[in-house]
A and B are shown apart, each in its own frame.
Chain A
Amino acid sequence: LKAFEGDKVLRILAKNEDQISLLQDLTEMDQLQLDIWKEPTHPTLPVDIHVPFESLQSVKAFLEANEIEHYIMINDLQALIDEERHEMQSTRF
């Protein structure tokens, strides 16, 4: 079973088209292995990105350097998956 320990999902709120463009550049950085839950399209829509633990520092640095507003939507993806699995199993019995 694939594990996501320490992975976070960030909700990113771009202010303008320039920031959207920067976020599009970010999502194309293959080495970060980002999973884009909601793509950067225009400033009225939030961008959600599942960031592997190993890429967190790079992504945070990128966002902060470009003054792009963001917050942690899911602090530990694996913990949430575990919770979901536990709930499925416990109700089954």
Chain B
Amino acid sequence: IEPRNTDNFDYAQYHTLDEINAFMDMLVAENPNLVTKLRIGSSYEQRPLYVLKFSSGPNRPGFWIDTGIHSREWVTQAAGIWFAKKIVIDYGRNQAFTAILNKMDILLEIVTNPDGYHYTHTTNRMWRKTRKPNPGSSCVGVDPNRNWDAGFGGPGASSNPCMETYRGPSAHSESEVKSIVDYVKSHGNIKGFISIHSYSQMLMYPYGYTKTPVPNQPELHDLARRAIANLASLYGTKYTYGSIITTIYQASGGTIDWTYDQGIKYSYTFELRDTGRYGFLLPANQIIPTAQETWLGLMTIMQHTKDNLY
């Protein structure tokens, strides 16, 4: 039994790739003046890479959000679906959010690694990487969060194709990554970029590949502090925050290091809920609370970006 519209969609459940694609089509059909579905490329297995563009007018700066670059982190794709619906509900109803979308487009990639996501549903629930074979190795896939041209090949990524943090043969070798790179470059006016992962309850800004602080560290640090305070105001979920390298570990070739180096000042990565009980298998009844609290953190960052366009 398939939902006939996005009001009937079950946001408190995990969904297959086909169901998520159907959801996106329904959302676009229901909101033709607000939402468009862009195809920014194809995955290794030729699945389309879709971005939902929420726009209330032409020629706006963009604010990027992606979920699901690591396929087994199912709560992130599920949260992305919830964000998409939240955006169409709140636009025109919530004053603060309406002001944001009246000034910036939101670009939301719900399933950033569709091959991996499909694989988690059909073959291996614990799959994290892409699904491209590695010549000369029986091990498959690249960690798409080590494949960016930002300290690529440095410490904090593996050169071994059998490791979960395998960086790939070269920067942007993965079409899932290259498609975003090409889109971000061609757009040319993205002002905020948030990449969402699970699980650790962290909000981090660049860098991961070097201990050198980013020039905007004081502003990014203070904004992160405010974002996690807002996030915690709903259910009391405690987050830590800081630069990637000081908060968690050295990681080269990461997404937001590249976006920051491209001039996108408000670059952050979220690590969603860690209950200490389920890891990547967060029960579906926690999808909505997780998405709700994350949205508050996102709102803080989006508002600040809107108020401080550069």
Interface residues of A (CB under 8 A from B): 1-2, 4, 9, 11, 35-39, 41, 45-46, 48, 50, 73-74, 77, 80-81, 84, 87-88, 91-93
Contacts and interface: CB of A to CB of B under 8 A. Distances in A.
Nearest to A78: B125
Given A36-B164, A87-B13, A92-B1, A50 B126 contact: yes
Contacts of A73: 276-279
B138 to A, nearest CB: 14
B10 interface: yes
A80 B281 contact: yes
**Secondary structure call for the B interface:** loop
A84 B276 CA distance: 17
B276 A81 contact: no
A35 B164 contact: yes
A77 B277 CA distance: 11
B95 interface: no
Contact of A9 (B125, B249, B279, B283): B279
A76 B228 CA distance: 33
A71 to B, nearest CB: 9
Interface in B180-227: 200
A88 B164 contact: no
Contacts of B248: 41, 45
